[in-house]
Amino acid sequence: MKPKVTIEDIARLAGVSKATVSRVLNERSNVKAETRERVLRIMQEQGFVPSLAAAGLAGGRSRLVGVLTPPFTQPTVPEILRGVAEAIEHTDYEIVLYSTNAGQSPTTIVNRILALGLTSCLLVIQPGPLTPRLLQLASQGLPVVVIDDQGPPPELPSVGIDNRVSAYQATMHLIRLGYRRIAHLQGPAEFRCAQERYQGYRQALDDAGLPFDPALVFNGTFETASGRACAVALATLPLTERPEAIFIANDQMAFGFLSAAEALGLRIPQDLAVVGFDDIPLSAHVRPTLTTIKQPFYEMGRNAVELLLSLLHGPATQPVAGAEGGYQPPIRIQLPTRLVIRESCGALTLHRRQEQEHSLSDE
Amino acid sequence: MKPKVTIEDIARLAGVSKATVSRVLNERSNVKAETRERVLRIMQEQGFVPSLAAAGLAGGRSRLVGVLTPPFTQPTVPEILRGVAEAIEHTDYEIVLYSTNAGQSPTTIVNRILALGLTSCLLVIQPGPLTPRLLQLASQGLPVVVIDDQGPPPELPSVGIDNRVSAYQATMHLIRLGYRRIAHLQGPAEFRCAQERYQGYRQALDDAGLPFDPALVFNGTFETASGRACAVALATLPLTERPEAIFIANDQMAFGFLSAAEALGLRIPQDLAVVGFDDIPLSAHVRPTLTTIKQPFYEMGRNAVELLLSLLHGPATQPVAGAEGGYQPPIRIQLPTRLVIRESCGALTLHRRQEQEHSLSDE
DNA sequence: CTGTTAGCGCCTTCAA
DNA sequence: TTGAAGGCGCTAACAG
């Protein structure tokens, strides 16, 4: 149906050997300029595009980057993928997508991916801890970059944010607004980012000379339901023990909190100020709109791709087993976050809307 | 680094020829049951996974489906992709993702995709009209399935909804609620779905014996801004000419409409009832929550994959040039939509919340 | 039912 | 700087 133009065709038309065409393709230097241009021109004319499949087979390394993602409906994912896709587009690589639908072993998928022999490197968007299998492969030399929107420990090259500092800023924002009793709804302990955000919260209290009250720290799961549960727990607290504000470790839980609070007759921010973490699309649209820490998801995607490709092209920094030369930690790109001030923290009502974000107007 | 297990290895260990192993792999029937099981067992033991790249090269057809998508941040996309990914997962195919970032020629991308020789079929999620190049390729025998969330003309096998009927239901819902003067904000004329939704609107008015007033039909772009513009236009109308309700051709525009209406002091649904179209995630969260037609995006993704694979496996229904046998239209899978009743249409306030959807509680 | 023989389109030695 | 030959891992004909 489609008479694919092959290297052989080009070679014949250009009057050179296939090997030479191949050299031109791979931008080898050892081709006479004149020849190169002729070949290039003919490739143009014929609309030649090399077969990635064959190139991968023959050359060993393919031009496909495997991208391992959680379900697309997880709110942080689309933005990250947009960044990834855009970065890839400027290269001659393509994306092979492996979506990990909840409930299937990540190890299985990883095995499948690699064994397929399609992809020569992996970009992992994975909430929570990494599969041992992945670590093992990486240590064997497979280029892997992790985007830790939810914060896996950086045992691999990774792109992410400084959760501790960001949480510190979020908490400090509440403190500056004059709140004294500040609660925290934290994420599950398996997530390193949950711990880090907790630490940032603690640190802010300390630095402000505020007492830490363990009774004000609630355990959550990063899911909406636990936000609701937390609101209920707070509402049952005696008025004197009730906090004036709460820093919630992700927006998803904050949504649950807001909706339950509304149902419970708890006014946000008048009765209780709320700051979240992530800034996913909904955050600008819930009522009240959510003050939160904005993670630069798009940029994370872009940076991850760049890092991955640089790993791929750069010298094979093979982690020699038992190397004595001192352990050097994997590369980490840390992107800045930003506090987005909206209604839920009370800053707007307190400070007459100095930095208000128009909710729907920016789309 | 990773000593890939090949068919050759399996063949040796099982004491058969590579061809036989291949037969087992491809589930050919002509293998003795006993042999098959031995081979399968050994493949298990060795953790053998065939190389898609090689298989594609050798066999001519690859096991990769190319998926052409708009940017992931377009709100309808994640759900569709989720469906696609989930359907693919049950097969031995993989997804190669081509994201069409706005502003780049679709034709270029399509060419690139095909020439790569990676994918043997294409799933296109494309708002608006199809590239001529795509049509041409399809007519040459390339299996293509289109998901028309925004409604391209079904010149190719496609999965979508009945826009006309759905729009009819939306409008009829408003009519049943007692509204008489009903406006319509339509999408751009290039989108067939925009025309169809308009037709459904007209039809509903006709069937209800309501007069059609061209002054109540506004032109939109399917984007937020045009929703705002429409609200402004409505607000400037003399009170007597103002409609009591409006059917807006997609939710994105409805959001713009709602936010502008709020700013203009127009109360929804008291002053004006609104019904949208799509039911994207935000629709349940804007204020007031949006009554709208729910498109089954997830199912569309799933069905599209199934259709595509059936096309791939089924008999090559090659559209023979100039065949006399009468033109038969391409397959179309039409999925049912559903009217989701929320606040913006006034039904809840009128009929004391009979079908209310809890906004945040279902996540 | 099974083994043998050619390639798929490309890259990578080698030798020239 | 170039050409010729071999093979990546698999499938598709053939024979048997």
pLDDT at site A79: 93
Question: CA A21 – C1' D2 distance (Å)?
Answer: 11
207-226 in A: which are within 8 Å (CB) of B?
Answer: 224
What is the distance between the alpha carbons of residues A136 and A22, in angstroms, rounded to a whole number?
A: 34
Instruction: Name residue, tokens 């989701």.
Output: B340
pLDDT at residue B354, rounded to an integer:
41
CB A276 within 8 A of CB A291: yes
For position A239, what pLDDT does the model report?
87
**pLDDT tens profile A80-127:** 999 999 999 888 888 888 888 766 677 777 777 776 677 888 999 987
In this complex, is the C-beta atom of B251 within 8 Å of any C-beta atom belonging to chain A?
A: no
* Cβ separation B53–A118 shorter than 8 A: yes
Task: Give the residue from chain A lying closest to B75, CA to CA.
Answer: A78
Count Cβ atoms within 10 A of the Cβ of residue A240 and give its class: 0-12 exposed, 13-18 middle, 19 or more buried.
exposed
Q: By the 8 A CB rule, do A183 and A211 touch?
A: no
Q: Domains in chain B, please, with CATH?
A: 49-156 (3.40.50.2300), 163-295+337-362 (3.40.50.2300)
Nearest chain A residue (CA) to B257: A360
Q: Among A181, A199, A301, which Cα is nearest to A249's? A: A199
Dihedral sign, Cα of residue A340, residue A346, residue A349, residue A351:
negative
- Report the residue from A53, A94, A224 with minimal CB separation from B53: A53
**A115 to B4: CB separation less than 8 angstroms, yes or no:** yes
Gap from B31 CA to C5 C1', Å: 20
CB atoms within 10 A of CB A101: 12
- pLDDT at residue B46 above 90? no
What pLDDT band is residue B102 in, cutting at 50, 70 and 90?
low
Q: What is the dihedral of CA B25, B31, B37, B42, to 10 degrees?
A: -50
Phi, psi of B314 (to 5 degrees): -60, 175
Quick one: which of B82, B127, B50, B11 has its CA closest to A99?
B82
Q: Mean pLDDT over residues B331-347, rounded?
A: 94
Quick: pLDDT tens for B87-96.
998 888 888 8
* pLDDT score of B324: 44
What CA–CA distance (Å, rounded) separates B51 from A61?
13
Out of A39-53, A82-96, A161-175, B340-354, which region has the weakest mean confidence (pLDDT)? Answer: B340-354
- State the Cα–Cα distance between residues A339 and A277, nearest whole angstrom: 9
Q: Whose C1' is closest to the CA of A17: which nucleotide? A: D3
Disruptive mutation site among A118, A297, A359 for chain B (greatest number of B CBs within 10 Å): A118
What is the reported pLDDT for A353? 41
Average pLDDT over residues A224-237: 95
| Tokens representing residue A146 in the block | 């992790």
The mean-pLDDT minimum among A353-362, B108-117, B214-223, B296-305 falls in A353-362
Nucleotide nearest to A23 (CA to C1'): C11
| Six-digit token string for B295 | 């498109």
Contact between A245 and A275 under an 8 Å Cβ cutoff? The reply is yes
For residue A173, pLDDT beyond 90: yes
Q: Do B258 and A360 touch (CB under 8 A)?
A: yes
| Residue A92 in contact with partner chain B when CB distance is under 8 A | no
Residues forming beta bridges with residue B338, ordered by sequence position: B294
Report the SS3 class of residue B224: helix
Q: Which is more confident, A108 or A359?
A: A108
Q: How confident is the model at residue A292 (pLDDT cuts 50, 70, 90)?
A: very high
**How far is CA B187 from each of CA B102, B247, B276, B286, rounded to the nearest angstrom?**
19, 11, 12, 21
Q: Which residue has the higher pLDDT, A177 or A102?
A: A177
Phi, psi of A361 (to 5 degrees): -75, -10
pLDDT at B225: 96
If we measure between CA atoms, which residue out of A161, A149, A66 comes closest to residue A112? Answer: A66
From the C1' of D6, which residue's alpha carbon is nearest?
A58
Tokens of B180: 């008489």
Query: Which of the 8 DSSP states describes residue B287?
Result: S
Give residue-wise pLDDT tens across range B104-134. Answer: 677 777 777 776 677 888 899 987 777 787 8
- Mean pLDDT rounded to a whole number for chain A: 86
pLDDT of residue B208 exceeding 50, the answer is: yes
Chain C positions within 7 A of any protein Cβ atom are: 1-5, 7-13
Show residues of chain B in contact with A73, CB under 8 Å: 78-79, 82
Which residue on chain B is closest to A71 by alpha carbon? B82
Asked if A155 and A124 touch (Cβ cutoff 8 Å), the reply is no
Residue of chain A whose Cα is closest to the Cα of B99: A85
Is B62 in contact with A53 (Cβ distance < 8 A)?
A: yes
Q: Any idea what DSSP says for residue B289? A: P
Q: What's chain A look like in SS3?
A: CCCCCCHHHHHHHHCCCHHHHHHHHCCCCCCCHHHHHHHHHHHHHHCCCCCHHHHHHHHCCCCEEEEEECCCCCCCHHHHHHHHHHHHHCCCCEEEEEECCCCCCHHHHHHHHHHHCCCCEEEEECCCCCCHHHHHHHHCCCCEEEECCCCCCCCCCEEEECHHHHHHHHHHHHHHCCCCCEEEEECCCCCHHHHHHHHHHHHHHHHCCCCCCHHHEEECCCCHHHHHHHHHHHHHCCHHHCCCEEEECCHHHHHHHHHHHHHCCCCCCCCCEEEEEECCHHHHCCCCCCEEEECCHHHHHHHHHHHHHHHHHCCCCCCCCCCCCCCCCCCEEEECCEEECCCCCCHHHHCCCCCCCCCHHHC
Q: Is B283 exposed, middle or buried (0-12, 13-18, 19+ CB in 10 A)?
A: buried
B46 in reach of chain A (CB within 8 A): no
List, in order, residues 6 or more apart from B345 with CB less than 8 Å away.
Answer: B173, B174, B177, B245, B269, B273, B274, B275, B291
* Cα distance between residue A134 and residue B344, in whole Å: 49
CB B71 within 8 A of CB B101: yes
Mutation site for A-interface testing, chosen from B69, B94, B140, B298 by largest number of A Cβ within 10 Å: B94
Distance CA B270, CA B246 (A): 12
Residues 6+ apart with CB under 8 A from B102: B70, B71
| Whether A316 CB is under 7 Å from strand C | no
**A286, B285: Cβ pair inside 8 Å?**
yes
Answer whether residue A198 shows pLDDT above 70: yes
Distance between the alpha carbon (CA) of A46 and the C1' atom of D4, Å: 25
D strand bases under 7 Å from protein CB: 1-13
> Given pLDDT bands bounded at 50, 70 and 90, which one contains residue B71?
confident
Residues 6 or more apart whose CB falls under 8 angstroms from that of B151 comprise: B160, B163, B191, B192, B193, B194, B196
| Shortest Cα–Cα distance, B309 to chain A (Å) | 18
Give A143 or A205, the one with higher predicted confidence: A205
Within 8 A of A282 by CB-CB distance, chain B residues are 281-282, 285
Checking if the pLDDT of B166 tops 70, the result is: yes
Task: Cite the DSSP H helix spans in B127-210.
Answer: 132-139, 163-176, 192-207
Å from A291 to nearest chain B CA? 17
With CA of B17 and C1' of each nucleotide, the nearest comes out as C3
Q: Which residue in chain B is spatially nearest to A118 when comparing CA positions?
A: B53
Q: Measured from the CB, is A32 under 7 Å from any atom of strand D? A: yes
Angle, helices A224-236 vs A251-263, to 10°: value is 40
- Return the closest-CA partner of residue A10 out of A34, A33, A55, A40: A40
Residue with CA nearest C8 C1'? Answer: B58
Using CA coordinates, name the residue in chain A closest to B358.
A259
Residue type, B102: A
Q: A256: closest CA among B231, B363, B221, B158?
A: B363
Q: Which of A88-97, A266-275, B95-104 has the lowest mean pLDDT?
A: B95-104
Q: Which of residues 49-88 of A touch B (CB under 8 A)?
A: 49-54, 56-57, 62, 64, 67, 71-73, 77-79, 81-82, 85-86
What is the pLDDT at residue B350? 57
| CA–CA distance, A33 with B12 (Å, rounded to integer) | 48
Rounded mean pLDDT, B303-318: 78
pLDDT in the model for residue B161: 94
B20 touches strand C (CB under 7 A): yes
